[in-house]
Structure 1
Amino acid sequence: MAPPSRKGGVGLETKEALSAIVLADSFTQKLRPVTLQRPKVLLPLVNTPMLDYTLEWLAINDVEEVHIFVCAHADAVQEHLKARGWLASRKFRVHVVVSTNCLSVGEALRVMDNRDVVKSDFILVAGDVVSNMNLRPALAAHLERRSSDKASIMTMVMRGGLSPAHIRRLGDMPTTVVMDPTSGRLFKFEEREEGGGGAEVDVARRRRRRRFVLDTTLFSERDSVQVRSDMVEASIYICAPEVLMLFSDNFDYQNVRKDFVSGVLSEEELGNKLFVHELRDEYAARVHNLRSYDAVSRDVLARWVYPFCPDTNLSSETEYQFRRGHVYMDSHVQLARQARVSHDSCIGAGSIISDGALVEASVVGANCVVGPGCVLRGAYLLDDVRLEAGVCVEAALLCDRVVVREGAAVRRGAVLSFDVVVGPGHEVPEGARVSLYRQLRAPGHSSDDDVEVPAREATSTGASLEAGTTDAEVAQAVGPMFKREVGETFLRCVKESIAHDNVVIELNGLKIAEDRTFADCARYMLTTMLGLCLPAPTSCRSEYRELYTHSAPEAGSREGLVELLQRASAQVRRWKALLQKFLRSEDDQVEVLLTLEEFCSAEGDYEATGEHGPVFAHIFAQLLKALYDEDILTEEAILQWAAEKSLAEEDEKVFLRKAQPFLSWLQDAEEESAGSGSEASSDGDEEEA
C-alpha cells in the first residue's frame, strides 16, 4: 500500500500500489538436465534471461511493487537480481521471498498468504512469461467488476484466435473454454489430452477425452455462451486478495489451472467468479518446455514481442543492431568474410564466426567460437560454446562452455548441458540429453511436473528422449513409473498398516508431483490390490513378496474361480474406503473400468509386466458386481462405460460381452425399481381419490 499523502486533508483517498507476485520457480523439470545447474528463469532466451523479460514487462505496465518468489537455486536468482540492478531499481520496489520447501505453485501462494504482504488486487505471473501486453485495460475491467461484485476474484489472460498447429507449436495442450461472449465470465475450462498409440482399450479412453459435456443450466440464465478451442492460457492472472486465501483454505489446490480454476468453477454455489481477458493483437506466452523455448525465441526474433527485441538492448552490456532478415548482431562480433549469417538469427557479443560457417535461424550467445565450415540450423548456443571445424548442429540446445570437437555432429532435439565435451567425429543422436550431473531420477524419466531442484552430485551420465515424440508419447513413457510408485506406496500401506489418511496425503503428493489425476491413483491401487490375490509378479520387490498369496486358484475349474472371486471380494471390502477417496466422479470410475480391461488383457501399462491380470478375465462380470456391491462403482458409471464400449470396434468389445449378464441384471433391476415406483405412485393416487 502506498503511503498516505503528505498534504493531509479530509476526504483524500490513499492509492493502493499495484503489486505483482512473480513465481521465479517453475516447479517442473521439463528443461532438465539444464535446470539441474541453473534455474529455468535465468536461462537466456535470445541471449536475455527469461526473468528479465517478465520484470521489464511489469515495469512498462506501472507495477510499483514486485514480490519474487524463489525456491530452487535461490542464491543464483538473488545474485542475478543484484547484478542486473533490479534490487535497487527505480522502476519498482523488489522483495525476494525465499522458501526452499515448496513443491508446487499452491504451496508458494500459501507462503505468500501467510506472510500477509499483499493487501490489494495483484498480478500473478510466472517468471518465464514473455509478453508485450498492455495490462491497463484488463486491470481496469477487473477493478470495475470488483467494485460492483466482490465475488469476481480473478481475470485470466488468454491468447485467442490460434490454430491447432499454432497451439502445438507453443507446446501447449489443447483447451476448451466456455465463456460468456459479452462479459467474458468463465464457465468451463478443460484441458484435452492428445491421444497417442497404445493398447486397444486406449481407443475408448481417447474417444471419451474428446467428448465435451455442457451442463444445460448454462443456458438457463443467459442467451448464449461461447465454446472456444482456439485459446491458450498465458500464465498471467489479475487476482483479488481472496485468491491467496482460497489457496490457504484448500490444501489440494497445487496448480492454478488444473486445481484452482477447476475447483472454483465446480463450486459455483460459493459464488466466486472467474473472467477471461482475451489478447488478439498483443503477445503473451510462457516458456514451459523445449518446444515453447524454440517457438517463443522465434517470435522474439520476428519482433512479435516488440519492444522486447534484441536491438532494444535491455541490458547495458549489449549493443545489438538489427539487420535485414531479422538478423541481430552485437557490434563486438567477429564475422569472417566468408561466413554467412542467414535469416532469424542472433549473435552475441564477443563471438567469432569463422570462414565457411553457416548460421541459419539460430541463436549464438556471448563469447562463442564457431569454427571453419560449421553449420548451425535452428541451434541455440548459450555462452562460451566452442565448435571446432566442420561441426554440424541442428535444432539442438548447447549450454555454457560446451565443446564440440572437429567433425562431430549434434542432431535434432539434443540437449548438451553445461561443460559437456563431444569428441572428434562423434555423433550425438536425436533427442539425446547429456549432462555431467547425475539425474535424480532414473534415465528416461522426464515427468513434466516434477519439482525443479538444484544438482547434488557430479558424475558422467545422460538421459535421452526420442526426438519428435509427442507429449502423449512422453506421458506413456512416464506412466509405468507412476504406476510402480502408486503400487509400492499401497503395498507399504499394507505391510506397515499405515492409516488411510496418511496414505491419502502421500499419494496426493505423488499425484501433484507427477501431474496425474485422482483416477490414476485409484486405478493403479485397484490392480495392485487385486494382484495380492495371486502370487507376486516377477517385478515385485522382495520386501513386498510376503504380502502376496503363495498359490494361485485353479482358473480352469469352477471351484478355483469361486476361490479367486472370494479373495478379490475380501480385498475390495478391506480397501474400499481408501479407493472411494480417489474416485470423485463417474468419469473417474469409467477410467478405472478401462484400466481393469487393460489389467485383465495384459495390455497397455500391464503388457509384459509379469502380473497375473488375465486370470481375472474369467470372473470379469462377477468382479464388476463386487465393486458395485461395495459402492466403489455406481450403476451410472457402469452403464456409461457400457454405452461407450458399445460404440467401439467389435474386437474391442470382449469385456463388454463378458459383462453382459451383470449389465442385463442391472438394467432389469432398474426397470423393476421404476415399475414399482410407478405402482406405488398409482396406489397413492387411488387412496387420495
Structure 2
Amino acid sequence: MPPKKIEERDLQAVVLCDSYEERFYPLTKDKPRCLLPLANTPLIEYTLEFLVSAKVTEVYLMCCSHADQVTEYITRSRWGSQSPHVPFKLHTIELPNTLSVGDAMRDLDSRGIIKSDFLLISGDVVCNMDFNKIWDGHVKRKQQDKNCIMTSVLRQGAATHRTRPRQTGLYILNQETNQVVGYEWDINVRKVSLDATELLSRPSVAFRNDLIDCYIDICTPDVPALFQENFDYELLRRDFVNGILTSDLLGKAIYAHILTDDYAARVESFRTYDAVSRDVIGRYAYPLVVDSRGTYVYRKGHIYVQNNVVLSQSSHIGRNTVIGRNTKVGSNTVITNSVIGRNCTIGDSVVLKDAYIWDDVTIHDNVKITESLVGSNAIVGAGAVLNPGVIVGFGHAVEANADIAQNSRLCRSFSKECEVSDDEDDENNHNEMGLLTSRMDDIYLSDDSIASTSRGDSNRRTKKTKRSLSAISATSVMSARSDEGEEDFFNEAVESISRAILDNHSQDVSILELNTLRMTMNASYDKVQAAVIHALVRHISHLVTHTDPKTATVGVFRQFTPLLKRVTFDLDDEVMVAHCIESECVGRNHGESILIYAMMTLYDTDVISEEAVYKWWDGEAVSTEVRKLVAQWVDWLRNAESESDEEESD
C-alpha cells in the first residue's frame, strides 16, 4: 500500500516555544527566545511558515517562559484565530510550571490531543526543506519496521560549518536503513560504549559526527506516552533518545533523515544566531529571505531597506545590511554587515560593523559597535565603544564615552542574575545607571538547565568521611573571600560547578575538579562549600524567572544532594552550609522562599541534621528579613521534637 500523502490526512504539529535554556540570557529574561527577532522577524514566524509549507492542519504551541507574551503575539499577528488566511488551527498551551521538554511532553500526553503521527519542532528553527519527502520516508519505514517511533531530521555539515553548534552529537547509523543504533551527545568523549552484539548484527555501521541536529522530528503517539512512563526523560536527545537506544525492554527504533541540499538550522546560541542571520540575508535559505516580509527594497550587495527610512547623503551602507522602517541614519555614519531594527535613531559619525541593533534603539554620535548585539529600547551614549561580543539587554542605557570590554553582558538594572565577577566593589554595584557587566565566557551555554540535566549521578552515593573543622560563624561566611588567593579559588570553583550544571558533567567529575583546585590553591573545605552553594543558588535565581521558587529550589538541591554530601562531613560543616545559603539568599529576588525550600530539602535528604538547623538558627543571623519564612518551620521542628519526647516519657 503506498503511503498517504499529507493532503490526504490531518497532520498535527507540536512547537516547543521554550528552549528551557539560558543561552540567550539576559535577553530571555524579558522576552521568550521564539519572539527574539532574526533579520527583524520573530523566530516563531520562520517556524510557522515552515509548517504552512508542510501542510500541517493543526498546531499546538507549548509555551513556558513568558507564555503570555507568546499568546498575545499570536493573537495580534496574522496567525490569530480571526484571520481567514491561516491554513491551520492554532492553539496556544501555557505551561508555566514545566521545567523541561520532558515535562512538556508529559503534559501533551495527559491532554490526549495527539491523534496520530505528528511533527515535533523547536520554535527557533529556520527551514526551507521539502517535508513531503521526509513524511513519505517516515511512513515507509513504519511499514517496514513496526517498532519505528521517530524520524529525526539531521543536516550534513562539516566541522567548520557556521550553523554547526559547538557541541554536536555522534550518531551511529545503520548505513542501509539510517536507523540510529547509537548516540553520544558529547562529541569530546574519548571512548563510546557500544553493544558488540548489536554492531555485529548490522551489515554496515557508520559513525557520523558531521550531522547537525535540526530539532525537527516526526513522532508517533508512543513518544509522549514514553515520556509519561519515564519521568527520568527530560531532554529529548540526551535522555529520551539515549534511553530508547540503550533499553533492552522497550524494543523501539529511531531513524534519521539526512538533508544534503535543503536548509534547516536551529538558532540555539548567539553563535548560530549570527550564522543563520547571515544565511537569511545572503539568501541561502530562499524562499526565507528578508524581502519576502514587509515592504523591503532589495539592493545590490544584499542590502535591504524598508519603507520610511531616512539616510543621510554622507552615510555609507555596506553589503549584507538590513534597515527597518522609520529608522534614521545620521551623516558620516558607516554600516556594514549589520541588521538595524525599526524606529531606530543612529547619530552622526557612527560605525556599525557586524552588529545587531533591535527595534527602538537610540545610538548617539561617534559610537563604535563591532560584533555586538543591542536589545530593543536600549540607548548608547555618545562616544561609547562596544567591543566584540557585547550583549546589551532590553532598555539598558550605555553611558557616554564608555568603553565596554569584549564579551560583556549589560543588564538594565542591578541583579545577581547578571553577576559573574565577584570582585566588583560596592560603588560599581550601585552606580547611578545600575550598570553590570559580566564576562561572556559561557555565552554559548549548554541546553541543559537544571531542569534538563541527567539524573544518573544522583543515584550514586559515597560514604561520608569524617573530618574535623573549626566552627564557622555567619561573619566568617561573609568575609570568606577577603584573601586574594581564596578569591581566585572561589571564582574558579564556582565556574567549575556552573559548568557541571550547564554541561551535565558527572558529579564525581565535579568533586575531582574541586579537590584538585582545593589542593592546588591550598583552600579550606569551607571555601568549597561556599562556592558550591553560590553556584547552586545563582542558578536557582535564573530558574525562578520562569518557574516558581519551590520547584526550582527543590529540584536543584535534590539533584545535587550527592555533591553536597561529599563536601559536608560533620556538624560544623552542616552549619556552614546553612550559613552559606542564608548569605546567598540576601538581596536576591525570592530570597526568603529559596532559603526555606533549600533548608527543608537539605533536612529531608539528610544533608543537614536537626541539631545543625538549631545551631544555625540560634547563631548570628546574616539577615532577619530573609529568615522570616524559615521561622515557622524551625518552630514546627522544635514542637515536633518536644511532642515526640512527651510521647516517649508517657
Same fold (TM over 0.5): yes
Give the match for residue 132 of structure 1: 128
Assess, with a 3 A threshold, how the Cα gap between structure 1 residues 341 and 105 changes in structure 2: closer, same or farther.
same
Give the match for residue 455 of structure 1: none
Give the match for residue 166 of structure 2: 172
Aligned: 1:82 with 2:84: no
Q: How does 1:119-518 map to 2 (within 5 A)?
A: 119-160=115-156, 162-166=157-161, 170-192=164-186, 194=188, 209-313=189-293, 318-437=294-413, 439=415, 441=417, 443-444=419-420, 460-466=434-440, 513=450, 516-518=453-455
Contact (CA 8 Å) 1:170, 1:296: kept in 2 or not?
no
Contact (CA 8 Å) 2:99, 2:451: kept in 1 or not?
no
Aligned: 1:43 with 2:36: yes
* CA deviations over 1:374-417 (Å, ceiling 9, x no partner): 00011100001111111001111111111112111111111111
* CA deviations over 1:510-533 (Å, ceiling 9, x no partner): x8616544466578x759x33x43
Assess, with a 3 A threshold, how the Cα gap between structure 1 residues 297 and 601 changes in structure 2: closer, same or farther.
closer
Assess, with a 3 A threshold, how the Cα gap between structure 1 residues 597 and 381 changes in structure 2: closer, same or farther.
closer
The code of the aligned residue for 2:45 comes to D
**3-state SS, counterpart of residue 343 of structure 2:** coil
TM-aligned CA deviation for residue 331 of structure 1 = 3.1
Assess, with a 3 A threshold, how the Cα gap between structure 1 residues 365 and 181 changes in structure 2: closer, same or farther.
same
Assess, with a 3 A threshold, how the Cα gap between structure 1 residues 537 and 45 changes in structure 2: closer, same or farther.
farther
Aligned: 1:18 with 2:11: yes
Contact (CA 8 Å) 1:33, 1:439: kept in 2 or not?
no
Contact (CA 8 Å) 2:371, 2:388: kept in 1 or not?
yes
Distance 2:371 2:512 in 1: 41
Aligned: 1:117 with 2:113: yes
Assess, with a 3 A threshold, how the Cα gap between structure 1 residues 77 and 541 changes in structure 2: closer, same or farther.
farther
Give the match for residue 533 of structure 1: 467
Distance 2:211 2:15 in 1: 23
Distance 1:230 1:541 in 2: 54
Distance 1:71 1:459 in 2: 31
* CA deviations over 1:521-563 (Å, ceiling 9, x no partner): 578x759x33x433169799999xxxxxxxxxxxxxxxxxxxx
Distance 1:597 1:105 in 2: 30
* CA deviations over 1:472-525 (Å, ceiling 9, x no partner): xx78xx9xxxxxxxxxxxxxxxxxxxxxxxxxxxxxxxx8616544466578x7
Contact (CA 8 Å) 1:192, 1:210: kept in 2 or not?
no
Distance 2:70 2:516 in 1: 51
Distance 1:150 1:350 in 2: 56
Distance 1:26 1:371 in 2: 36
Distance 1:225 1:285 in 2: 26
Contact (CA 8 Å) 2:350, 2:367: kept in 1 or not?
yes
Assess, with a 3 A threshold, how the Cα gap between structure 1 residues 602 and 32 changes in structure 2: closer, same or farther.
closer
Assess, with a 3 A threshold, how the Cα gap between structure 1 residues 389 and 442 changes in structure 2: closer, same or farther.
closer
**3-state SS, counterpart of residue 412 of structure 2:** strand
The code of the aligned residue for 2:89 comes to R
Contact (CA 8 Å) 2:353, 2:370: kept in 1 or not?
yes
The code of the aligned residue for 2:160 comes to A
Aligned: 1:108 with 2:104: yes
Contact (CA 8 Å) 2:35, 2:70: kept in 1 or not?
yes
Distance 2:440 2:413 in 1: 20
Contact (CA 8 Å) 1:25, 1:127: kept in 2 or not?
yes
Unaligned runs of 5+ residues in structure 2 are 1-6, 422-431, 478-504, 529-650
Distance 1:64 1:258 in 2: 30
**3-state SS, counterpart of residue 26 of structure 1:** coil
Percent identity, aligned pairs only, is 31
Distance 1:386 1:292 in 2: 26
**3-state SS, counterpart of residue 314 of structure 2:** coil
**3-state SS, counterpart of residue 433 of structure 1:** strand
Assess, with a 3 A threshold, how the Cα gap between structure 1 residues 408 and 212 changes in structure 2: closer, same or farther.
same
TM-aligned CA deviation for residue 32 of structure 1 = 1.1
The code of the aligned residue for 1:533 comes to R
The code of the aligned residue for 1:179 comes to L
TM-aligned CA deviation for residue 327 of structure 1 = 1.4
* CA deviations over 1:158-202 (Å, ceiling 9, x no partner): 111x222226x54330321110112110011112255xxxxxxxx
Distance 2:527 2:458 in 1: 18
Assess, with a 3 A threshold, how the Cα gap between structure 1 residues 178 and 311 changes in structure 2: closer, same or farther.
same
TM-aligned CA deviation for residue 23 of structure 1 = 0.9
**Considering only CA atoms, is the larger Rg found in Structure 1 or Structure 2?**
1
The code of the aligned residue for 1:389 comes to D
Distance 2:158 2:470 in 1: 49
Assess, with a 3 A threshold, how the Cα gap between structure 1 residues 132 and 537 changes in structure 2: closer, same or farther.
farther
Aligned: 1:71 with 2:64: yes
Assess, with a 3 A threshold, how the Cα gap between structure 1 residues 437 and 248 changes in structure 2: closer, same or farther.
farther
**3-state SS, counterpart of residue 144 of structure 1:** helix
Assess, with a 3 A threshold, how the Cα gap between structure 1 residues 459 and 148 changes in structure 2: closer, same or farther.
farther
Contact (CA 8 Å) 1:409, 1:427: kept in 2 or not?
yes
Give the match for residue 569 of structure 1: none
Q: How does 1:604-623 map to 2 (within 5 A)?
A: 607=521, 609-611=523-525
**3-state SS, counterpart of residue 434 of structure 2:** strand
Distance 2:50 2:168 in 1: 26
Q: How does 1:496-575 map to 2 (within 5 A)?
A: 513=450, 516-518=453-455, 521=458, 526=462, 529-530=464-465, 532-535=466-469
Contact (CA 8 Å) 2:374, 2:391: kept in 1 or not?
yes
Contact (CA 8 Å) 1:152, 1:272: kept in 2 or not?
yes
The code of the aligned residue for 1:349 comes to R
Unaligned runs of 5+ residues in structure 1 are 1-13, 195-208, 446-457, 479-510, 544-587, 615-689
Give the match for residue 620 of structure 1: none
Assess, with a 3 A threshold, how the Cα gap between structure 1 residues 70 and 540 changes in structure 2: closer, same or farther.
same
Distance 2:337 2:374 in 1: 15
Root mean square deviation of aligned Cα: 3.1
Contact (CA 8 Å) 1:61, 1:136: kept in 2 or not?
yes
TM-aligned CA deviation for residue 367 of structure 1 = 1.0
**3-state SS, counterpart of residue 165 of structure 1:** coil
Distance 1:27 1:21 in 2: 16
**3-state SS, counterpart of residue 106 of structure 2:** helix
Distance 2:129 2:251 in 1: 29
Distance 1:600 1:387 in 2: 48
Distance 1:249 1:68 in 2: 23
TM-aligned CA deviation for residue 260 of structure 1 = 0.4
TM-aligned CA deviation for residue 601 of structure 1 = 4.4
Contact (CA 8 Å) 2:148, 2:252: kept in 1 or not?
yes
Distance 2:186 2:234 in 1: 19
Distance 1:126 1:87 in 2: 20
